[in-house]
Amino acid sequence: MTTRKRMWTTAPVTAFVLAGVPAHAGKAMHMSAPVLSCAGASQVSDTLQVCGGATGAGAGFSIQWMNAADYAANGDAWYASDDPRLCKASFSGNASLSRYDLAPGECVAVEVGDLLFDSGASTNCASGLACGSAYVFRSFAHAKCTLGRSGFSPTLSCDTLACGQGGGCTRPPEYWTFYNPLACDGGPRGAVFCLDWPIASLTLGTRSYTVDELVNVLATAADGNGLLALAHQLIAAKLSEAAGADGSAVATTIAAADALVGDLTVPPVGDGTLDPGVTAAYTATLASFNQGAIGPGACLPPDPGGDG
């Protein structure tokens, strides 16, 4: 009996596999670019609202910026990506406690300038922006497993606040989070970054919080909890007032925010929650105060080598 050997050919299989490759293989398809808009400013920073495009920005996004004068001098063109003069910041949607995992149409506010200390955020330009100056910004969404990174959003121009706004100024939550009394007690940043706050305790709603508790509240990402987002801005506004800033522009807002908080205890001290839609207006007004858009104006950044 003759045994027949079955012969296999790989050519038809290869052709079949290639024919069956999905259109997005090799990341031929791309994320949609985020939508940028100006959302506030201080003397040393611009706040941008970043909204997810049609595909969202599930892995986060990056922002690039230049002084508008440099952009114009470069022929209304951006510096090359590897040019050290180009400022870049990455906002990871995959980082622990990140708030940069954006669904389509979902928005988040980010402060570009001196204060970028947030979970998932990193930058090559940690110094503040120049006061009284225009800056240009653009953004792209990070790649996901089946979609390549997006192209750049259209170039957006935003201005910082005018120079010369003096004492009694305000500071945003990120400042108080980074420069805090706990950093003096063997913290990883050392005494250069510690700051004696102007209070020993602070009331939010009807509850009093110690400095340690306030630092922990500020260090906790809001993650969709309107109570935490409001508490961040409320703490910063009250600390700025205690340090000498005129809070008359937001006195009514502070009173209304305290009434809304009531007897809720802010995480991680407690487990209170509020719908962001209920707190959004108060949070936005207090953020404008803390960033210097209303009220006495925001402070210039501290000198880490000086007394802050």
Range with lowest mean pLDDT among 176-190, 193-207, 264-278, 289-303 = 176-190
Please say which residue of 106, 134, 159 terminates a domain.
159
**According to DSSP H, which parts of 207-250 are helical?**
211-218, 226-242
- Does residue 139 sit in the same domain as residue 78? yes
Handedness of CA 144, 146, 149, 150 (dihedral sign): negative
Reported confidence tier of residue 300, pLDDT bands at 50, 70, 90: low
pLDDT digits (tens, 9 = 90+) for 16-61: 333 343 444 444 599 999 999 987 777 777 888 899 999 999 999 9
In a domain, 182, yes or no: yes
pLDDT digits (tens, 9 = 90+) for 208-263: 999 999 999 999 999 999 999 999 999 999 999 988 888 999 999 999 999 999 99
- Does residue 186 sit in the same domain as residue 223? yes
SS3 category, 104:
coil
Q: How many CB atoms lie within 10 A of CB 201?
A: 11
- Does residue 253 sit in the same domain as residue 155? no
- Does residue 195 sit in the same domain as residue 241? yes
CATH number at residue 77: 2.60.40.10
Q: Tell whether the model's pLDDT for residue 167 goes beyond 60.
A: no
Q: How many CB atoms lie within 10 A of CB 238?
A: 23
In a domain, 10, yes or no: no
In a domain, 113, yes or no: yes
pLDDT of residue 119: 66
Q: What whole-number distance in Å separates Cα of residue 33 and Cα of residue 56?
A: 8
pLDDT of residue 183: 72
Angle (CA) 44 48 51, round 5°: 165
Q: What whole-number distance in Å separates Cα of residue 3 and Cα of residue 113?
A: 78
- Does residue 49 sit in the same domain as residue 154? yes
DSSP state letter for 141: E
Q: How many CB atoms lie within 10 A of CB 115?
A: 23
- Does residue 46 sit in the same domain as residue 150? yes
Q: How many CB atoms lie within 10 A of CB 27?
A: 14
Domain tally, the chain: 2
| 158 CA to centre of own chain | 16
Q: What whole-number distance in Å separates Cα of residue 227 and Cα of residue 290?
A: 17
Reported confidence tier of residue 185, pLDDT bands at 50, 70, 90: low
In a domain, 128, yes or no: yes
Mean pLDDT (the chain, rounded): 82
Going through 106-148 in order, the beta strands assigned E by DSSP cover 107-113, 121-123, 134-141
In a domain, 304, yes or no: no
- Does residue 127 sit in the same domain as residue 200? no
pLDDT of residue 108: 85
- Does residue 147 sit in the same domain as residue 248? no
- Does residue 220 sit in the same domain as residue 277? yes
pLDDT digits (tens, 9 = 90+) for 74-96: 999 999 999 999 999 999 988 77
- Does residue 191 sit in the same domain as residue 257? yes
Q: Write the DSSP string, 55-69.
A: T-BTTEEEEEEEEHH
Handedness of CA 140, 285, 294, 171 (dihedral sign): negative
Q: Tell whether the model's pLDDT for residue 166 goes beyond 60.
A: no
Q: What whole-number distance in Å separates Cα of residue 129 and Cα of residue 46?
A: 8
Q: Tell whether the model's pLDDT for residue 188 goes beyond 70.
A: no
In a domain, 16, yes or no: no
Provide the percentage of residues in the chain whose pLDDT is more than 70: 80
Residue-range definition of the domain harbouring residue 52: 31-159
Reported confidence tier of residue 187, pLDDT bands at 50, 70, 90: very low
Q: In the beta sheet, which residues pair with residue 48?
A: 38, 110
Q: Check if the beta carbon of residue 223 is closer than 8 Å to that of residue 99.
A: yes
Residues near 46 by beta carbon (within 8 Å), at least 6 away in sequence? 38, 40, 111, 112, 113, 129, 135, 137, 158, 159, 160
- Does residue 38 sit in the same domain as residue 133? yes
pLDDT of residue 22: 43
Residues near 111 by beta carbon (within 8 Å), at least 6 away in sequence? 45, 46, 47, 48, 172, 174, 291
- Does residue 123 sit in the same domain as residue 200? no
Residues near 182 by beta carbon (within 8 Å), at least 6 away in sequence? 194, 211, 212, 215
In a domain, 302, yes or no: no
In a domain, 71, yes or no: yes
pLDDT of residue 164: 54
